[in-house]
């Protein structure tokens, strides 16, 4: 067969264009409706049926069940969805992903949409260079749509010409007549292809092309489609490797749901495909099984003429070309209907076994012993859990709120440390503060790295501004943790120096700490808010003024008290070190509030 390495690279390039078009289209839509998609998923708290509808809607919009399931796994990781709710959304995602096959069937084989692809790109260019981010996003969506069909067109023309090479066709046919053995072989092929390509939509497109060219019968193509449903679950399982227990369970539920679905369809495979063929034959364009029979009656030269795309003059060849086009539409409709019917039937059956899935996944994936260790890992985000850029910001916000919670907890330990007289308990608390300080350093780096990864994606200008504010907030929260550690060290130095504070000094320190406690607890409250208002920063400014004024007042009193020998000079040094550190912490809290409130307006 005359098929060079250049032809092979052209095929890979066509597949790359198809996938890139899908990616651009998906990201453009997410930028337009990112917040809406996020809120639809996060408010999915009603029941399994609305979960299924949500999964269908989002996957039909973003054209990627892998993106939806990775997003769902990350939301379970973030605690925004329960395992039960996530299974419903994943079921819906399986139905939503069948929309791609219908788009290709309706336009890709019936109309040569690639003819309109370049003019559509011409229309997109002004939109992409527009100053308004929403117009730019719509331009990217339309550009992705054009590239997707341009890639599909190249894919159809760059696949090996097996039909005109009977020996290669015979090689394929050897594996299509082994009954269930052939079905299992093509099922495995579909699974492996999807794992390699990382897109079930792209593999479905390849399967459609293989079947419409008559290389494989309709039934083998249907088996490949089943394999693609298993292959698409790998993405979410890879993403869940570094996630928490709940996310791992959600990814396993996705795999189980698809595998069990494939098992029952394989048992009733021939009656099921016969039903699809009957529907498409009687209510659609024709019998999808007729393609193989039709091509087997023609000689290679005739096939080459009617598939060349050239204008024909021979009435017989024109009639055969029309018949071939009609059969190609029948095959694509048949496979699309098979894909959709399988997923809908699977959801209708499996939706009643959601509790069973939850039970099995919980039994198979158990939390590690010493669960308190998980407290010191990132709760909402982790390496490998990056979903689509616009939809990753919620996880980062939630993680920053947890960072604030931990810093506030660390401050509570400092308050305990100040009065602790028992040396053993003192050292235990002090070592916990040191541990929290190292955790805060690690959290700052990991959240910042995650945000930088998100920033590398295709983001709207508003989201880029939001990331800048979040990066600043993370840095300042880590500075608060450093201040807590510095306070703990000052208290330790005081104890090692055998210094004893007077009741007045203790009272003054407590009063300063109460201001900080109010400011910190209010900061944490705002970090957890979903809707932040410009007035939210006013209480922090008021507390900052109180802290500054009180610090100045205590500095003056300290000089007078040291001069009047009320306490030792060294006691005054320890005392003012603590007061100064408290004032610095107040500044850091203001910086955090400015980063999270003022960036919004």
Query: pLDDT by residue (tens digit) across 312-340?
Result: 777 777 787 777 777 777 887 888 888 88
- Cα–Cα nearest to 217, from 270, 176, 186: 176
Q: pLDDT over 90 for what percent of the chain?
A: 18
Token pair 């892998």 is found at 66
Gap between the Cα atoms of 250 and 387, Å rounded: 15
Distance of CA 501 to the CA centre of its chain: 54
pLDDT above 80 (res 343) = yes
Q: Write down the pLDDT at residue 463.
A: 79
Calpha distance 548→550 (Å, rounded): 5
Q: Are 306 and 324 in contact (CB under 8 A)?
A: yes
pLDDT digits (tens, 9 = 90+) for 238-271: 667 666 677 788 888 888 888 898 898 888 888 9
pLDDT score recorded for residue 174: 62
Question: Quick check: 128 pLDDT over 90?
Answer: no
Task: Tell me which of 263 and 149 has the higher pLDDT.
Answer: 263
Greatest CA separation for the chain: 117
Task: Give the global pTM.
Answer: 0.56
- Least-confidence region, from 187-191, 505-509, 523-527, 570-574: 187-191
The confidence score (pLDDT) of residue 515 equals: 94
Q: Residue 377 has what pLDDT?
A: 58
- 3 — pLDDT class (breaks 50, 70, 90): low
Compute the distance between CA of residue 500 and CA of residue 183 in angstroms, rounded to an integer: 83
Mean pLDDT of 139-152: 78
Of 150-154, 181-185, 236-240, 271-275, the least confident: 236-240
How many CB atoms neighbour CB 46 within 10 A? Answer: 11
Q: Which of 472, 474, 463 is nearest to 381 (CA)?
A: 474
Q: What is the pLDDT of residues 469-485, one digit of tens each?
A: 899 999 999 999 999 99
pLDDT tens digits, residue range 93-113? 777 777 766 766 666 544 555
Provide the mean pLDDT of the chain.
78
Half-sphere exposure of 246 (CA within 13 A, CB side): 20
Q: How confident is the model at residue 549 (pLDDT cuts 50, 70, 90)?
A: very high
Six-digit token string for 376: 């010191």
Whether 563 and 502 have beta carbons less than 8 Å apart is answered as no
pLDDT of residue 354: 83
> What is the structure's pLDDT at 168?
47
The DSSP code for 389 is: G
Residue at token pair 């040191």: 434
pLDDT at 297 over 80: no
Distance in angstroms (rounded) separating the CA atoms of residues 344 and 349: 9
**pLDDT bucket at 525, cuts 50 / 70 / 90:** very high
Both tokens assigned to 317? 């060849």
Q: Is the dihedral of CA 322, 324, 327, 329 positive or negative?
A: negative
pLDDT at 368 over 50: yes
**Residue 335: predicted pLDDT:** 83
Mean pLDDT calculated for residue range 193-208:
73
Give pLDDT, residue 325. 74
Tell me what pLDDT residue 74 has: 62
Residues 493 and 496: their CA atoms lie apart, in Å, by: 5
């Amino acid at each position: 067969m005359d098929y060079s390495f250049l032809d092979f690279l052209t095929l890979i390039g066509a597949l790359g264009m198809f996938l890139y078009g899908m990616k651009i289209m998906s990201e453009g839509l997410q930028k337009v409706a990112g917040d809406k998609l996020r809120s639809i998923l996060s408010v999915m708290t009603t029941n399994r049926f609305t979960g299924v509808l949500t999964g269908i809607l989002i996957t039909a919009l973003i054209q990627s069940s892998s993106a939806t399931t990775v997003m769902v796994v990350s939301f379970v990781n973030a605690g925004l969805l329960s395992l039960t709710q996530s299974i419903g959304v994943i079921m819906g995602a399986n139905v939503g992903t069948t929309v791609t096959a219908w788009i290709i069937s309706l336009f890709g084989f019936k109309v040569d949409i690639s003819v309109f692809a370049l003019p559509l790109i011409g229309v997109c260019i002004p939109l992409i260079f527009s100053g308004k981010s929403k117009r730019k996003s719509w331009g990217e969506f339309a550009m992705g749509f054009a590239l997707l069909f341009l890639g599909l067109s190249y894919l159809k023309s760059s696949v090996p010409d097996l039909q005109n090479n009977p020996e290669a066709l015979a090689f394929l046919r050897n594996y299509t007549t082994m009954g269930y053995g052939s079905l299992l072989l093509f099922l495995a092929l579909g699974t492996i292809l999807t794992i390699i390509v990382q897109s079930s939509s792209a593999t479905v497109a390849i399967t459609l092309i293989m079947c419409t060219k008559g290389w494989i019968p309709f039934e083998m193509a249907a088996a490949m489609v089943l394999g693609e449903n298993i292959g698409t679950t790998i993405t979410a399982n890879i993403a869940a490797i570094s996630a928490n227990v709940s996310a791992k369970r959600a990814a396993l539920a996705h795999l189980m749901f698809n595998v069990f679905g494939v098992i029952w369809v394989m048992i009733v495979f021939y009656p099921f495909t016969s039903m699809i063929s009957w529907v498409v034959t009687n209510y659609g364009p024709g019998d999808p099984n007729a393609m193989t029979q039709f091509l087997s009656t023609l000689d290679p030269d005739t096939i080459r003429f009617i598939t060349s795309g050239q204008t024909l003059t021979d009435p017989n060849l024109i009639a055969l070309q029309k018949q071939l086009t009609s059969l190609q539409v029948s095959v694509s409709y048949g496979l699309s209907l098979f894909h959709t019917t399988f997923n809908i039937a699977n959801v209708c059956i499996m939706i009643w076994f959601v509790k069973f899935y939850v039970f099995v996944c919980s039994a198979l994936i158990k939390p590690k012993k010493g669960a308190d260790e998980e407290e010191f890992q990132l709760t909402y985000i982790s390496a490998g859990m990056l979903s689509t850029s616009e939809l990753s910001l919620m996880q980062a916000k939630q993680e920053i709120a947890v960072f604030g919670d931990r810093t506030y907890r660390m401050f509570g330990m400092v308050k305990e440390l100040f009065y602790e007289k028992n040396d053993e308990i003192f050292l235990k608390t002090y070592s916990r503060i040191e541990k929290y300080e190292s955790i805060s350093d690690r959290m700052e780096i990991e959240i910042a790295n995650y945000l930088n990864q998100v920033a590398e994606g295709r983001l709207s200008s508003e989201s880029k501004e939001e990331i800048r504010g979040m990066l600043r907030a993370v840095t300042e929260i880590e500075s608060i943790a450093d201040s807590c550690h510095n306070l703990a060290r000052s208290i330790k130095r005081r104890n090692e120096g055998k210094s004893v504070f007077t009741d007045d000094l203790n009272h003054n320190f407590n009063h300063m700490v109460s201001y900080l406690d109010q400011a910190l607890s209010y900061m944490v409250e705002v970090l957890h808010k979903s809707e932040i208002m410009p007035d939210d920063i006013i209480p922090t400014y008021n507390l900052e003024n109180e802290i500054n004024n009180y610090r100045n007042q205590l500095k003056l009193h300290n000089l007078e008290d040291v001069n009047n020998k009320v306490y030792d000079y060294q006691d005054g040094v320890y005392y003012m070190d603590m007061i100064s550190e408290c004032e610095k912490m107040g500044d850091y809290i203001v910086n955090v509030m400015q980063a999270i409130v003022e960036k919004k307006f």
